[in-house]
Amino acid sequence: MAMDGLGKSIRVILNHVRGSPVVDEGLMRDVCRELQRGLLQADVNVQLVLQLTNNVRERALNERIAAGRSAKDHVVRVIYEELVSLMGNGEPIALKPQTIMLVGLYGQGKTTTAGKLANYFVKKGFSVGLIGADVYRPAALDQLKQLGAKVNAEVYGEPGQKDAARIVRDGLAEFSEKQIRIIDTSGRHALEGDLIKEIEDIAAVAEPDERVLVLDSQVGQQAGPQADAFNKAVGVTGIILTKMDGTAKGGGALSAAANTDARVIFIGTGEHIRDLEPFDADRFISRLLGMGDLKGLVEIAKAEIKENESMDELARNILSGRFTLMDMYHQMKAVGRMGSLQKFVAMIPGVDKLEDKIDYEATQQRLDSFKVIMDSMTLREKEEPNIIKGKRIERIARGAGVEPRAVRDLLKQYNRSKKMVSTVGKDRKMLKKLQKQFAGIDASDFEGGGE
Q: State the residues that interact with ligand GTP by CB under 6 A.
A: 104, 106-112, 134, 137, 140, 187, 214, 242-243, 245, 268-271, 275
Nearest distance, CB of residue 140 and Mg ion, angstroms = 5
> Residue 107 binds which one of ligand GTP, Mg ion, none, with CB within 5 to 8 A depending on kind?
ligand GTP
Query: What is the H or E stretch that residue 123 is in?
Result: helix 110-123
- Measured CA to CA, the distance from residue 338 to residue 89 in angstroms comes to 34
Q: How many CB atoms lie within 10 A of CB 235?
A: 13
In sequence order, the β-bridge partners of residue 181 are 99, 129
Judged by CB, which is closer to ligand GTP: 111, or 413? Answer: 111
Judged by CB, which is closer to ligand GTP: 275, or 381? Answer: 275
Could you give the residue ranges of the DSSP H alpha helices within 289-438? 294-319, 325-338, 341-346, 360-375, 379-383, 390-400, 404-423, 428-438
Nearest distance, CB of residue 87 and ligand GTP, angstroms = 18
> Residue 109 binds which one of Mg ion, ligand GTP, none, with CB within 5 to 8 A depending on kind?
ligand GTP
> Residue 112 binds which one of ligand GTP, Mg ion, none, with CB within 5 to 8 A depending on kind?
ligand GTP
Contact map string, positions 101 to 120, toward Mg ion, x by CB under 5 A: ---------xx---------
Nearest distance, CB of residue 227 and ligand GTP, angstroms = 15
Judged by CB, which is closer to ligand GTP: 288, or 334? Answer: 288
Judged by CB, which is closer to Mg ion: 110, or 433? Answer: 110
Who contacts 309 (Cβ-Cβ below 8 Å, separation ≥6)?
68
Nearest distance, CB of residue 185 and ligand GTP, angstroms = 8
- Measured CA to CA, the distance from residue 346 to residue 428 in angstroms comes to 12
**Residue of this chain nearest to ligand GTP (CB atom):** 187
**Backbone CA torsion sign across 241, 244, 248, 254:** positive
**Backbone CA torsion sign across 198, 204, 206, 207:** positive
Q: Are 201 and 234 in contact (CB under 8 A)?
A: no
Distances from the Cα of 93 to the Cαs of 211, 260, 314, 376, in angstroms?
11, 17, 50, 58
Judged by CB, which is closer to ligand GTP: 247, or 365? Answer: 247
Judged by CB, which is closer to Mg ion: 130, or 377? Answer: 130
Interface residues with Mg ion (CB under 5 A)? 110-111
